[in-house]
Amino acid sequence: MKRLLIVWHSHTGGSRQMARAAADAARTENGIEVCLRHAPEAQPDDVLAADGYLFATPENLASMAGLMKDFFDRVYYPVLDRINGRPYAVMICAGSDGSGAVRQIERIATGLRLKPVAPPLIVITHAQTREAILAPKTIPVEELARCAEVGAGLAAGLAAGVF
Ligand SMILES: Cc1cc2nc3c(=O)[nH]c(=O)nc-3n(C[C@H](O)[C@H](O)[C@H](O)COP(=O)(O)O)c2cc1C
């Protein structure tokens, strides 16, 4: 059995829906156990116990969400040099950009010697005004399908041992 760890945070629900879509798709793969963890709950042992990773977060102030950064801050040194070469992918929910959050996570993942196995997926919600940004998000089904593809691809690769 291979284990996929999905770590997520969300303020208005978008990244949570994206993470769940990826998790549901990954669970359909035989031989894969999916561990879906909200970032504040995720611990170094969760990271060590997983064979691959999916990180899902909104972009806030050109960065990953603070609680996602807190996750990396807490686990980085406990897992450093113990997860080298394991596969990962990133999904960002952003109002209009998302590239800052992608860059930050890629840099951290490089430090951890993780291997990117899918292009970063950015879902744009077009939330630009204060009202739109604060409103609960509903991610369109076609975007959730893209998230499902990422989850399914990670799971299939892990199950087949191709990463
Ligand atoms: C404090 C704050 C800062 C934000 N900064 C950015 C930003 O730098 N770039 C961007 O594209 N969107 C930004 N947004 C918009 C969110 O990324 C967008 O609303 C996204 O859909 C939220 O995802 P979530 O529903 O998972 O929380 C910001 C939102 C908040 C609340």
pTM of structure: 0.98
Residue with CA closest to ligand 1 atom 27: 11
Any ligand 1 atom below 6 A from CB of 14: yes
Identify the band that residue 91 occupies on the pLDDT scale cut at 50, 70 and 90.
very high
3-state DSSP assignment of residue 133? helix
Q: How much is the pLDDT for 99?
A: 98
Residue from 55, 59, 64, 124 to probe ligand 1 pocket by mutation (most atoms less than 8 Å from CB)? 59
Residue from 18, 60, 134, 137 to probe ligand 1 pocket by mutation (most atoms less than 8 Å from CB)? 60
Q: For the chain, what percent of residues have pLDDT higher than 90?
A: 100
Please give, one letter per residue, the 3-state secondary structure of the chain. CEEEEEEECCCCCHHHHHHHHHHHHHHCCCCEEEEEEEHHHCCHHHHHHCCEEEEEEEEECCEECHHHHHHHHHHHHHHCCCCCCCEEEEEEEECCCCHHHHHHHHHHHHHCCCEECCCCEEEECCCCCHHHHHCCCCCCHHHHHHHHHHHHHHHHHHHHCCC
Atom of ligand 1 nearest to the CA of 16: 26
Q: How far away, in angstroms, is 49 Cα from ligand 1 center?
A: 31
Identify the band that residue 30 occupies on the pLDDT scale cut at 50, 70 and 90.
very high
Q: How far away, in angstroms, is 118 Cα from ligand 1 center?
A: 23
Q: How much is the pLDDT for 109?
A: 98
